[in-house]
Structure 1
Amino acid sequence: MSNLSEQATPGFLVWRLSMKWRVAVDRAVAPLGLTHAQYSLVASLHGMQRSGLRPSQRRLADHTGLEALYVSKLARGLEAAGLLERTRDPADPRAVQLALTEEGRETTRRAIDIVQGLLRQLLAPLGGPDSPRAQEFTHDLTALLDAPLDPSATADGTPPATDQ
């Protein structure tokens, strides 16, 4: 165990791991002209398209956990780079649908291969991506992501009392 983690809180360790991952992905996909945030968007869009979906910016924002306004900004940049198309949803003229271009699909496939290599490196200490420890880790991360967080809750985690 590193000196860093001996006295660190779980929140600090989650933050450090997320920063380590973001920096590694940023560096790895930079030669493809992508940032980590752009990669998150195109990789998610790639998976959704493979499932037959043409998601709206809002749906992609919900899927990635990014703010809708940020997804819109990223999508405009990716569109300018020729990697995706933004079109009005015929069923809802307020919504913008996203789809990867052919160039976007090729770039995304290359980026996914690169990031999968990083993931194998990250999970090697747990026995690799298919190991029982990595599967348990994934399960634990999912449980943490599914747990609601209320910034207004008290220090013990209970909602604050309201005056009525």
Structure 2
Amino acid sequence: MSTRPVRGGPTPGFLVWRLSMKWRVAVDRAVAPLGLTHAQYSLVASLYGMQHTGEQPSQRRLADHTGLEPLYVSKLARSLEAAGLVERTRDPRDPRAMKLALTEQGTEVTLRAIEVVHGLLEQLLEPLGGLDGPRTREFTRDLTALLDAPLDPPAHVKEQS
């Protein structure tokens, strides 16, 4: 991805950043009445999805899944535990690892938050033909390809470190 403007317009990197900021702010505002932040929502919604498939993930596994730093996931999990939304327990197979599970209250709040965020997603994707439209499916494939692409600093930047 080039950092140079495309014919005087914004770069793809700038647009990705702006879209991610727009999304984060919208989700923050939407889930605030439920007592959540965007980061907390990302954690509980991911945890809900993982539990729904029978997994009780560790904090590390949840960090890998969400793309958040493990230390940040630990901090979020502690705050969600204090709010009564998440239970943290030691993994009997690895005493250093913490397993996470939603509480009953956490599941209720998460389901309400998922519904609210789903509505936002429908609004966001309306210009592409909606959530189930072919342009949205193509956009999802493109985003997945970008997320799968490795991002190592250029060699000349590594050498200056």
TM-score normalized by the length of structure 2: 0.92
- Give the whole-Å Cα distance in 2 for the aligned partners of 1:57 and 1:133: 35
| Alignment correspondent of 1:146 | 148
Give the Å deviation of 1:89: 0.2
- Write the distance in 2 (CA, Å) between the matches of 1:104 and 1:51: 17
**Aligned: 1:20 with 2:13:** no
Deviation (angstroms), 1:154 = 4.8
User: Where does residue 60 of structure 1 map in the other structure?
Assistant: 62
Question: Hey, what's the Cα distance between the residues in 1 that align with 2:144 and 2:153?
Answer: 20
Q: Name the counterpart of 2:111.
A: 109
Amino acid at match of 2:55: L
Does the alignment pair 1:127 with 2:113? no
- Residue matched to 2:93: 91
Name the residue aligned to 2:5: none
- How many pairs does the alignment contain? 152
1-structure distance, mates of 2:156, 2:66: 28
- Deviation for aligned residue 1:151: 1.5
Unaligned runs of 5+ in 2: 1-7
Runs of 4+ with >3 A deviation: 152-155
SS in 2 for 1:95: strand
* In structure 2, C-alpha distance between the alignment counterparts of 1:150 and 1:129, rounded to whole Å: 32
- CA RMSD across the alignment: 1.4
Whole-Å Cα distance in 2 between the matches of residues 34 and 153 of structure 1? Answer: 40
Whole-Å Cα distance in 1 between the matches of residues 142 and 72 of structure 2? 28
The reply on whether 1:7 has 2:15 as its aligned counterpart is: no
Task: State the Cα distance separating 1:83 from its structure 2 match.
Answer: 0.1
CA distance in 1, matches of 2:155, 2:144: 22
**Helix, strand or coil for the counterpart of 1:54?**
coil
